[in-house]
Amino acid sequence: MIRILALLPLSIAVIFGGFFLWGLNPDRDPNEVPSVLIAQPAPAFELDPVVGLHTPGLSRSDLVGTETAVVMNVFASWCVPCRAEHAVLTSLAEKDGIRLFGINYKDKPEDAIRWLAELGNPYERIGSDLSGRAGIEWGISGVPETFIINTDGTVLFRHVGPIVGEGAIGKFREALLQAGALPSGGL
């Protein structure tokens, strides 16, 4: 009896060790919060265009029923990481031919226009979300965030934060490829 009792601490330690070993898996990121929207239909929303910008506004129907999966990016001129991400998105839209839509989140129209004039406008359509209502519908936790939406309107992928750096870009391209959002099919 005493022998078994004396073995108890060791047995517990071994079980804990097993869990720790599992937890060290390099692909595991405890900070990653899966979006509840993944594999769910995209939320309904309807946004007016940015006042003074010639790009049309954005609603759910623009994202659904397209020929390929599309990308929707939430951005703002006051968000510094968005500026870093902008070149990546522009290249994806112009070189790889993805269909890119934007939600301009809680931004003053004149700031947004100046920002797009300076950096270029890769977006097919931009909805102006002044109240942040669409942001709530999409459950965003900050800006920027990027979603990939399938032709039937289900959300396939969500990226929180800017798509910059090799790791993030690689992962995003991988997701685009799987979703069939890269018309050229190549990398």
Partner 1 sequence: MTPEIGHFALALAFALALVQSVLPLVGANRGNLLWMHSARTTSIGQFILVGVAFGALMRSFIVSDFTVLNVASNSHSLKPMLYKIAGTWGSHEGSLLLWVLILTLFGAAVSLFGSNIPSSLKARTLAVQAWISVGFLSFMLFTSNPFTRVFPPPTDGNDLNPLLQDVGLALHPPFLYLGYVGFSIVFSFAVAALLEGRVDAAWARWVRPWTLAAWICLTAGIVLGSWWAYYELGWGGWWFWDPVENVSFMPWLLGTALLHSAIVTEKRDAFKSWTILLAILTFSLSLLGTFVVRSGLLTSVHAFAVDPERGLYILALLALSIGGSLALYAWRAPMMEAGGIFKPISREAGLLVNNLILTTATGTVLFGTLYPLFLEAITGDKISVGAPFFNATFVPMMLPLVLFMGVGPFLSWKRADLAGVYQRLKYVALASIIATPIVWYIQKGGPLLAHFSIMLATWLLLATLREWGIRIRLFEAPISETLRRARNLPRASHGMTMAHAGLAIAMLGMIGSSAWKSEEIVFVAPGTTIEIAGFDVTFSGVERVRGPNYLADRGTLAVSRNGQSIDTLRPERRYYPIADSTTTESAIRSTLAGDLYASISEPATENAEQSDAWTLRILYEPLVNFIWLGSSLLIIGGALSLSDRRLRVGAPKRTSASSAPSTQAEKA
Residues that bind partner 1 (CB under 8 A): 2-3, 6-7, 9-10, 13-14, 16-17, 19-26, 28, 30-34, 78, 106
Q: How far apart are CA 170 and CA 149, in angstroms?
A: 18
Provide, rounded to whole angstroms, the least separation between the CB of residue 169 and partner 1. 20
Whole-number minimum distance, CB 144 to partner 1, in Å?
15
Minimum distance from residue 98 beta carbon to partner 1 (Å): 29
What are the C-alpha distances in Å from 79 to residues 52, 65, 75, 179? 21, 31, 7, 28
Please say which residue, 22 or 167, places its beta carbon nearer to partner 1: 22
Q: Which is nearer to partner 1, 16 or 118 (CB)?
A: 16
Interatomic CA distance for residues 142 and 6, integer angstroms = 51
Residue 68 region, left (φ>0) first, then alpha (ψ -120 to 50), else beta? beta
Of the pair 31, 184, the CB lying nearest partner 1 is at 31
User: Least distance to partner 1 from the beta carbon of 23, Å?
Assistant: 5
Which of 159, 173 has the CB closer to partner 1? 159
CA–CA separation, 95 vs 105, rounded Å? 26
Q: Which residue has the tokens 């018309």?
A: 183
> Rounded to the nearest whole angstrom, what is the least distance from the CB of residue 162 to partner 1 in the complex?
14
Q: Smaller CB distance to partner 1: residue 22 or 95? A: 22
Q: How far is CA 106 from CA 13, 31, 78, 132, 133, in A?
A: 51, 26, 9, 6, 9
Burial class for 78, CB neighbours closer than 10 Å (0-12, 13-18, 19+): middle
